[in-house]
Homo-oligomer: A and B are copies of this chain.
Amino acid sequence: MHNIKLKPTQVLVIGFATIILTGGLLLNLPIASQNGESVGFINALFTATSAVCVTGLSVVDTGTYWTVFGKTVILFLIQIGGLGFMTLATMFFIILGKKISLKERLIIQEAFNQSTLAGLVRFSKYVLIVTFAVEGLGALFLSLRFVPQYGLIIGIAYSIFHSVSAFCNAGFDLIGNGKNLMPYVSDPIVSLTVSFLIIIGGIGFSVITDVFTNRKLKKLSLHTKMALLITALLLTIGTVGFMVLEWRNPNTLGNLTLGGKFLSGFFQSVTVRTAGFNTVDFAQMRTASKLLAIILMYIGGSPASTAGGIKTTTLGVILFTIISVIKGKSETELFRKRISRDIVNRAITIAIIGIFLIISVTMVLSITDSQFDFMEILFEVVSAFGTVGLTLGITPLLSALGKTLLIFMMFSGRVGILTIAFALARQQHKYKGNIKYPEGKILVG
């Protein structure tokens, strides 16, 4: 790998792909399945992708289908995916005492979307410490419910598993029979603990570090302010939206108390943005709620986190650009800072390619899997892109081509559209400043 000249983005894409492929080969072995027969390569690859990309979509029932070996492989893949394989690589380097080369730093930098090289090793350490601390605290809270319910050993195991799955935004559960967390729809301990684990895991390690280090609002970076603002905005819109739209739906929130409605609205608004747990059945929701879920899944969480989607800050940059245009300003301004044209253009590119991918894949799936509804397919595709893992129930029934396309969507959503685009682009992505063309005019709208 040191002889072939690879771009950092290419190393990243190949690295992720290699881990997924390895996982797929292991899950394809007969010893991974309870029935002693191979699950079939496309199903094995789908499960491995879903785990590494912390999506949670499943073609078979995780709890009953796989053997202990299979479940162990899946858990490993989730852990690698959640922490990011680059953190693990960094950790190995530290443990082995090897000095990290500039090139290796560049790759890590690309993976974490960090804009300075300095302190990347320190940052990776932070990631590990924060991860284990938060997951431990989450497991502690969950054990308050799970230990009385399942006994000491299983209760603790469940607490740890769901805490990790929530923080990594993986959305895998052990409750079984597709019930997910529905039994806990009105339970504040489980609902709120899982919600906060998801939010912290999905807001990005750089934001956590920034808040933890600076503490005062004024000292926070622009990125942190933006991520927090958009996250708060989306949580509010989601909570109010699901509550209002599902208020009288007897199959979802209709029969809950006022507190239960709020708790459930909040939980669904948190989980839909990338985690993929659910305490109500999304298939029973009204069309408007499904549409709201689709939008929130598309946006996803924040960069350099365990989340998928186009990311909160991408949306934020676009929103503030629109506000600037309407106010008649040439530049995107927010919090008394200018946003460079490069960043605005990157944000548009991510958002539009995301929409393009979703529409294209939905179109193909509507042909290859024509027995399903337009809404069912669209929901599934966006869920894969946002690495959410929610489904209206069609995942196990998809065709081989349908599964392959969803594998591609999960991969794009997790690795990032621009990372893939840069990896595929012929030139290195730096500005060739030699030619400066004259300005041309175009009427738009």
Q: Which residues of A contact B (CB under 8 A)?
A: 113-115, 206, 221-223, 226, 245, 286-288, 290-292, 295, 303-304, 310-311, 313-314, 316-318, 321-322, 324-353, 355, 359, 362-364, 366-367, 370, 373-375, 377, 416-418, 421-422, 425, 427-432, 436-445
Contacts and interface: CB of A to CB of B under 8 A. Distances in A.
Contact of A352 (B290, B322, B332): B322
A438 B288 contact: no
Contacts of A427: 327-328
A206 B442 CA distance: 11
A439 B338 contact: yes
A359 B295 contact: yes
A428 B206 CA distance: 39
A442 B316 contact: yes
Contacts of A367: 245, 286-288
B313 A431 contact: no
A442 B222 contact: yes
A418 B445 contact: yes
Name the residue in A347, A363, A373 with the highest tally of chain B Cβ atoms < 10 Å from its Cβ: A363
Contacts of A333: 437
Given A287-B367, A337-B440, A351-B352, 19 more contacts: A113-B443, A113-B445, A115-B441, A221-B441, A222-B441, A287-B366, A288-B364, A291-B362, A303-B443, A303-B444, A321-B349, A322-B352, A326-B429, A335-B440, A339-B440, A339-B442, A350-B445, A416-B445, A418-B445
Contact of A328 (B344, B351, B430, B437): B430
6 contacts: A113-B445, A288-B367, A325-B346, A326-B425, A341-B344, A350-B444
A343 B444 contact: yes
A314 B445 contact: yes
Contacts of A331: 341
Contacts of A364: 288
A427 B321 CA distance: 16
B287 A429 contact: no
Given A326-B421, A439-B337, A346 B291 contact: no
A443 B304 contact: yes
B286 A370 contact: yes
A188 B351 CA distance: 41
A341 B330 contact: yes
A312 to B, nearest CB: 9
B326 A345 contact: no
A364 to B, nearest CB: 8
Nearest to A204: B443
B325 A287 contact: no
A366 to B, nearest CB: 4
A442 B226 contact: yes
A223 B355 CA distance: 25
Contact of A442 (B317, B362, B436, B443): B317
B345 A332 contact: yes
B428 A328 contact: yes
Contact of A441 (B292, B343, B443): B343
Nearest to A319: B352
List the 3 shortest-distance A-B pairs measured between CB atoms, nearest first: A337-B440, A328-B429, A222-B440
Contacts of A313: 442-444
Contacts of A346: 325, 444-445
A297 to B, nearest CB: 13
Contacts of A291: 359, 362-363, 366, 374
B328 A363 contact: no
Given A223-B441, A292-B363, A328-B429, A341 B341 contact: yes
Contacts of A290: 374
Contacts of A330: 341-342, 345, 431
Nearest to A363: B288
Contacts of A375: 374-375
A402 B317 CA distance: 32
